[in-house]
Amino acid sequence: MPRLSALDMPDVPKAQLPPHLEQQRTRVSCKSDAPLHTEGIQYSGAYASMGVDNSLRLDSFSKNFRVEVVRLTEDEIEFDMIGIDASLANAFRRILIAELPTMAIEKVLIANNTSVVQDEVLAQRLGLIPIEADPRLFEYVSENDTAHEKNTIVFKLDVRCKKDDGRIKAKSSELKWLPGGSELQMASTNSNPSTNPNAKPKTYTSFNCRQDSLPEFSHKPLRPKYGDITIAVLGAGQAIDLEVHAVKGVGRTHAKWSPVATAWYRMLPEVVLTQEVEDGKAEELVSKCPVNVFDIEDIGEGRKKAVVARPRACTLCRECIREKHWEECVDLRRVRDHFIFTIESTGALPPEVLFTEAVKILEQKCERIIAELS
């Protein structure tokens, strides 16, 4: 008898993985104790012995990649990204959180604070207030830079609770934009006005022009995105008088610069009934699932069977396979290259712009390395 390789047997299809391997390649299995086959198989030659090419050509990527927007509001987007590897989806997520710049309050100059909130706590609270300013219009400020109109936004907060006011709240809407820059005077060394009476008093910024004379800001005053954030509660007679300087930065330095409240993705769940689940068992299965993934379908003769109606809603809580023997009927999987991506913006930029900017940053990273190596 001639020696026959197992791969040449007639029931082994050519250039195609056997079903169990194909499932391993494209799905993550969720068993009752732990997920299985979580690692993606990236290596192009992983299935070479079976005559299957696992490399990726750009044209096949372009052909298979799809985006479907599910929900889009002013500050939130949910979309499906299909046909992309987790490494790229994760790169976008990481960039969204840590590497997209925004403007945030970095310096707080406190002239007076008699509230119960200590200076450092107050400064920390102020830092976290989202500023509605397009970061693309500003420059980074480095250690030795002076603050000028291209890299700093100045706001002032001056609230006072009169003796008979009871108690008042200082809200973020009371942060007033100072387009001309800082109004606080530096305690200068030669403060003698007689030496140069025309010199402007030195402040903490040196703006060359007023920001509201620049075309980008003249129609749209810079302000905190939300006016209803409580900064401090003032009792009778207490006052806060301070000035804040917002500068450009990235979330890697401090989370206050992160342009997203959260950016996350989950893989599309896939729920498969591997056996018919009928009658009493079907009802049991439907009642097990807290998010109503299953439905009952009549199959005539007074019999019923369970069907998977809303797999997308599945949270993979694994309740349906927790008890004995259920794992044999229900197979929980996740589609490895289908990501349900959600971005919640804090308001500086709309969420769809954030995503495109994130992709651009990854491109710039590649470009930088290519240039460095050339």
CA distance 195 to 346: 49
216 touching other proteins, by CB under 8 A: no
- For the chain, the residue count is 374
Footprint on this chain of ligand SF4 (rule: CB under 6 A): 271, 288-289, 291, 293, 314-320, 332
Query: Rounded to the nearest whole angstrom, what is the least distance from the CB of residue 332 to ligand SF4 in the complex?
Result: 5
Query: Rounded to the nearest whole angstrom, what is the least distance from the CB of residue 83 to ligand SF4 in the complex?
Result: 24
Residue number with CB closer to ligand SF4 (318 or 338): 318
Counts for the chain of helices (H) and strands (E), in that order: 7, 16
- What mask, x for binding other proteins by CB under 8 A, covers residues 338 to 357? --------------x--xx-
- Conformation bin of residue 51: beta by default, left when phi > 0, alpha when psi is -120 to 50: left
**Which residues are registered as beta bridge partners of 325?**
none
Q: Name the amino acid, one letter, at 218.
A: S
Task: Give, rounded to a whole angstrom, the gap between the first and last alpha carbons of the chain.
Answer: 58
62 touching other proteins, by CB under 8 A: yes
52 touching other proteins, by CB under 8 A: no
Query: Rounded to the nearest whole angstrom, what is the least distance from the CB of residue 294 to other proteins in the complex?
Result: 30
Contact region for other proteins (CB under 8 A) — 43-51, 282-290, 308-316, 332-340? 43-51
Q: Which of 7, 88, 214, 255 binds other proteins (CB under 8 A)?
A: 88
Q: Which of 21, 32, 76, 94 binds other proteins (CB under 8 A)?
A: 94
142 touching other proteins, by CB under 8 A: no
Question: Count of CB atoms within 10 A of residue 346's CB?
Answer: 24
**Binding site partner of 295, from ligand SF4, other proteins, none, Cβ cut-off 5-8 A by kind:** none
Mapped onto helix, strand or coil, the DSSP state of residue 67 is strand
90 touching other proteins, by CB under 8 A: yes
Query: Contact 177/153 with Cβ under 8 angstroms?
Result: yes
CA distance 32 to 319: 8
CA distance 297 to 316: 23
Nearest to 269 by CA among 318, 221, 232: 318
**Binding site partner of 288, from ligand SF4, other proteins, none, Cβ cut-off 5-8 A by kind:** ligand SF4
Give the pair of three-digit tokens for residue 14: 């050519």
Residues contributing to the site for other proteins (CB under 8 A): 42-45, 53-56, 58, 61-62, 65-69, 72, 79, 81, 84-85, 87-88, 90-91, 94-95, 99, 352, 355-356, 359-360, 362-363, 365-367, 369-370, 372-374
